[in-house]
Structure 1
Amino acid sequence: MKHIKPRWIVIGVIVLALAAGVWRSLSNKRAQQAAASAPASTVTQVELTTSDVLKAEMRDITQGLEISGTVKAVNYAVIKARVAGELKEGAAREGDAVKAGDVLARIDPTEYQRRWQQAAEQAKSAQAQMEIARRQWNNNQSLVEQGFISKAAMDNSLASYVGADASYKAAIAGADVAHKALDDATLRAPFAGIVSGRAAQVGERVGIDAKIMELVDLSQLEVEVPLSPSESMDVRVGQVAALQVEDRKDTLGAKVKRISPSAQAGSRSVLIYLTLDKAQGLRHGLFAKGILGMGKSQVLAVPLSAVRTDRAQPYVQVVEQVGEQLQVMHKTVTLGARGMDLAQPESETMVGITGLNEGSTVLKSNVGALREGMVVKYTAPASAASSAP
């Protein structure tokens, strides 16, 4: 050992270090290859609730036409001024409930009272003249029979009486017109309802046909829906519809009650009118949309939102028993008829499918995309999940 030179010792140490490094690198590479080629020994688990799944069931799907329209009161009126003048009194305001015949507003009646008085006095004067002419004619009839006057004089008295009678009737008609103008100065409710708006205030001078206020009767509401001429061809009175008002979650039933016999000028649309099953809480002028039922078909159906389309073929995610575990499986399906199950008016759009067994447990859209083979664990007992709708 004493005869070994130091430089050979250094060279030996370096060689050993290089050999150890090469061996360590080869060992790490083999371990990585083995890990990459080895199958995964653990399966990711996901927890679901019974509200995250549903059963694929046979349903009566109502196929239909997508429609949209406006909720309107059957009885709706714009109260306008029938005579010109200053608005002296506004008895009703927005939101006030009124009965048929209640006073809504008054226009200053002074001018129309004077005109009616004038017309009434003229009618009295014409009546007096007519009475004089009638008595003159009666007297002349007796005088002609006695031979004291000629028949021509009697004819003249008859003509005078006829003219006086006509003047009297004209004066009566003028008095009636003046009285109507006086009555028109008082605006009354044509039907029971609620004041929905006012367009004129007390002290404002309004002209004839000026808008004063609006009145609606919320006890009877309907939906006015415009359709194209081609769409309206298959619509019939009595067809049912499912509507959503102002994007509310609940769905209202409706039925076609009337169909306009003519198209609207300009838009060429045909108006149909649907009555609502439950109109409580709705307001005149709200927007409504939904599906008008045109036919029914019984199919195995799931919500359209549960069908995933992020692959070449549409599929649904189902929960199946694999051994002792519940796992997520992907089932390719073929889509069929789309519509709504009107027996469950709160449900969403349904779609008929083939390629899936009836009673299969389908994951809803809110779960999102899950990897096939993922183990499912219910936060509630699995028996409760099996009975989930």
Structure 2
Amino acid sequence: MQGADRPGRGRGIVAAIALLAIAGGAIWVVKGRATPEPAPEKTATAKSVVVPVSVAKVERRDVAVTLSGIGTVQASQTVNIHSRIDGTLQSVTFTEGQQVKAGDVLARLDPRLAQATLAQARAAKAKDEALLASAQADLTRSLTLAKSDFASKQTVDQQQATVDQYKATIAADEAQIESAQTNLDYTTITAPVDGRMGMRQVDAGNVVHSSDTTPIAVLATLKPIAVVLTLPEKNLPAVQAALAAGPVPAVAKGGDGTVLGTGKLAVIDNQIDTSTGTLRLKAMFPNEKETLWPGAFVHVDLEVGTLKDALTVPVAAVQRGPDGLFAWVVGPEEVATMTPIETGTMSKGSAVVTSGLSDGQSVVTEGQYRLRPNSKVAVAGPGADTGATQKLAEREAAPPAP
């Protein structure tokens, strides 16, 4: 039995060895396939990413020195339309928002009481003129009789006093007539200046008085119009010097930067507000298109001088970082470098550079958000689609397809 078991046991060992060999071969094959092939040279890093940008030249030119402040638009003239006498408002002849000229009729009061007063004054004058005529006739007779000693000097003097009294009375009557005529004229309310009518605040049929605080309406002159603005008191010498040299141009802008009007500085207030340290100024604008409206807030730029041959860059090129202002400068190999700069005044989209740049350098004005120090750039021409340029640069930098 033992001899019979040995051949079977030997065959089992052989089978086990065969299985181990097969398993080992399989493991070797799997490892061989799992082992990565040597990586090809990375072509993606062979080219750095090219950033498309727009650039502008640093150049020298004359730059206007501009002071900016926030102002409030005010009508050049504002008139509260009141009645100057007591009476019933008979009619309102203007339309709300209507443009009127000086002398245009705005409203009428019931004139009958004023007409009656005027008629009484005229009648009183006629009566006193008749009495004066009679007194003058008596005086003439008395003078004739006095020459023949038929009338005393006292009688003549009394007659002369009566004549003088009636003359004074007639003068008073004339004053009464003029007063009554004026009150009658006041029953017709007219516009004192040119302007635009506001909303009606008193309707026809109401009794109005000269002492009323509520006006019938408000008349505002919008052409020209004024803007009152404030500037820091440190700007006073520059404004005074500019105003002494000639008219100071003023530009009014809306919150979005839209130009609403151009005008001139009219006056500097005669005192500085001690609580705020600011100076008030008034600029006048023709406002032909009525783009400036009373009560609106606007930004006002005053051109107080000119910097000759100043080094300038577009405002878009000026960037602010943790260490201050800087600009991206494109070198001869089209590599962008971050350059610290200092700026002065800014005017009409340009900034005056006081240090950090030199004439003729190229600075990035668009596409800065993708830049890093020493980034390779592709300069786009005026009006170029930087998005399309970016896609082209990415395709050129991408590795070739397998």
**Superposition TM-score, scaled by structure 1 size:** 0.75
SS in 2 for 1:93: coil
SS in 2 for 1:165: helix
SS in 2 for 1:100: coil
Which is greater in Rg?
A: 2
User: In structure 1, what is the equivalent of residue 253 of structure 2?
Assistant: 245
The one-letter code sitting in structure 2 at the alignment partner of 1:333 is P
Alpha-carbon shift at residue 333 of structure 1 (Å): 3.4
Deviations 1:338-381 (A, max 9, x none): 132xxxxxx33633242223233333367545234143253769
- Decide which of 323, 343, 362 is 1:312's aligned counterpart: 323
What is the rounded CA distance, in whole Å, between the counterparts of 1:44 and 1:268 in structure 2? 53
What is the rounded CA distance, in whole Å, between the counterparts of 1:356 and 1:74 in structure 2? 47
User: In structure 1, what is the equivalent of residue 48 of structure 2?
Assistant: 43
CA contact (8 A) 1:317 1:331 kept: yes
* Correspondence 1:334 to 2:341: yes
For structure 1, which runs of at least 5 residues remain unmatched after alignment?
341-346, 383-389
What is the rounded CA distance, in whole Å, between the counterparts of 2:275 and 2:149 in structure 1? 77
- Decide which of 110, 113, 116 is 2:112's aligned counterpart: 110
- Decide which of 306, 309, 312 is 1:296's aligned counterpart: 306
Alpha-carbon shift at residue 4 of structure 1 (Å): 7.6
Compared CA separation, residues 300 and 228, structure 1 to 2 (3 A): closer
CA contact (8 A) 1:75 1:217 kept: yes
What is the rounded CA distance, in whole Å, between the counterparts of 2:163 and 2:176 in structure 1? 20
Compared CA separation, residues 264 and 375, structure 1 to 2 (3 A): closer
The one-letter code sitting in structure 1 at the alignment partner of 2:306 is K
* Correspondence 1:361 to 2:362: yes
Alpha-carbon shift at residue 310 of structure 1 (Å): 1.9
**Superposition TM-score, scaled by structure 2 size:** 0.73
* Correspondence 1:276 to 2:285: yes
Compared CA separation, residues 290 and 97, structure 1 to 2 (3 A): closer
Compared CA separation, residues 227 and 143, structure 1 to 2 (3 A): farther
For structure 2, which runs of at least 5 residues remain unmatched after alignment?
1-9, 385-402
SS in 2 for 1:280: coil
What is the rounded CA distance, in whole Å, between the counterparts of 1:313 and 1:265 in structure 2? 33
CA contact (8 A) 1:195 1:215 kept: yes
CA contact (8 A) 1:243 1:288 kept: no
Question: How many residue pairs were aligned?
Answer: 363
What is the Cα-based RMSD across aligned positions, in Å?
Answer: 4.1
- Decide which of 255, 265, 269 is 2:264's aligned counterpart: 255
- Decide which of 199, 202, 207 is 1:205's aligned counterpart: 207
Deviates most, 253-262 or 224-233: 224-233
Compared CA separation, residues 291 and 183, structure 1 to 2 (3 A): same
CA contact (8 A) 1:197 1:213 kept: yes
User: In structure 2, what is the equivalent of residue 188 of structure 1?
Assistant: 190
What is the rounded CA distance, in whole Å, between the counterparts of 1:379 and 1:260 in structure 2? 50
The one-letter code sitting in structure 2 at the alignment partner of 1:334 is I
What is the rounded CA distance, in whole Å, between the counterparts of 2:276 and 2:119 in structure 1? 51
